[in-house]
Amino acid sequence: MADVVLFPHVQGLTSGVVAFADELRAAGHTVHVPDLFGGLTFDSPEAGTAHVEQVGFGEVAARGVRAADALPRDVVYAGFSLGVMAAQQLAQTRGGARGALLVHACLPVSEFGAAWPDGVPVQVHAMEDDPLFTEDADAARALVAGSRDAELFLYPGDRHLFADRSLTSYEPGAAGLLTQRAIEFLGSVGDAHRR
């Protein structure tokens, strides 16, 4: 089984993020969920974004990186939307990563280095018509084209945070399939690690 660090989206550590972590735990994985907002959650993406703009996007990502300092290096880094910033940075720059799950977002690989690291499998999950994923889609396709260990899963629809069951954007069919794929992915990187 895998150790996972899951970074939340801009609305904070919602009950939906916790529920996703609990599903991974129920499948046998250890999941750490750092709270990047000091206990604050936000009723809307706009309110969360206003808070992040006040704190600074770089500071929020740095909080995620600092949270990982206390954890082992051989983990899978996962992030929902804003949380992808820390997850992707750590997967690309902190040696020992076992994999990455980038949900609702993907940054250009060049943000954190010249190429995706060899031997670090990654999955990107998003809705194909999500307006917030439009630019990220190019980055995700480039990541898949440049790495033999990368997969992109696009789900029908236009919702952004579709995997968070506590939000109105939740879409149970797509979220269920994402969760199933994530659990299979974690099982495969966990099995590979034990060999």
Summarised one tens digit per residue, pLDDT across range 85-128 is 999 999 999 999 999 999 999 999 999 988 899 999 999 999 99
The reported pLDDT for the residue numbered 113 is: 84
Mean pLDDT of 61-73: 91
Specify the long-range contacts of residues 170-176, CB closer than 8 Å, at least 24 apart.
170/16, 171/127, 174/127
The amino acid at residue 113 is G
Write the CA distances from 102 to 43, 50, 91, integer angstroms.
23, 23, 10
| H helix intervals, the chain | 15-26, 45-55, 57-69, 84-93, 134-146, 172-194
139, pLDDT greater than 50: yes
Within a 13 Å sphere around the CA of 53, how many CA atoms are in the beta-carbon half?
6
Place of tokens 């996703």: 20
pLDDT at 195 over 70: no
Q: Tell me how far apart the alpha carbons of residues 157 and 123 are, in angstroms, rounded to a whole number.
A: 19
pLDDT of residue 192: 60
| CATH 3.40.1280.10 applies to domain 3-189 | no
User: What are φ and ψ of residue 130, in 5° steps?
Assistant: -65, 115
Amino acid at 193: H
Type of residue found at 92? Q
Confidence check: pLDDT of 11 > 90? yes
Token digits for 114?
Answer: 């010249």
